[in-house]
Structure 1
């Protein structure tokens, strides 16, 4: 069984930028309740919400997340298959 985790790093990034939850909510149209829920790890943002937040912070959307997996990348599989 493969193991995967995805964490939204909004709380840390927001703190680095000295931006309040309310400022992100106002700028993106995402409710403050949703912002809080994302930061507490109760939910992940939708793709559209993540893109809005990343756009507001002027960062790549990938920077909002930490993804860990034990799935073997296809490039590694390709190297094994071509032996």
Structure 2
């Protein structure tokens, strides 16, 4: 494989890593925004039918998506904290 091809693959992998790291915080922010009371009229109509729980509907979905996309953050933490094991 040529140097140009390997360089392009590395740059693409780097962009994919950054995108993976951006997913979990983005979904967490969206969950907070979806759970804030005083949303738009359709949000009020939907929450009235569910009993008014702030964690119902979209907020719960965004929290789950944030949890499912936390793997890149856990890998990053494990890589950085690998040298601190056994120092208790």
When the two structures are superposed, what TM-score results if normalisation uses the length of structure 1? 0.28
When the two structures are superposed, what TM-score results if normalisation uses the length of structure 2? 0.27
Structure ranking higher on relative contact order (CA contacts 8 Å, 6+ apart): 1
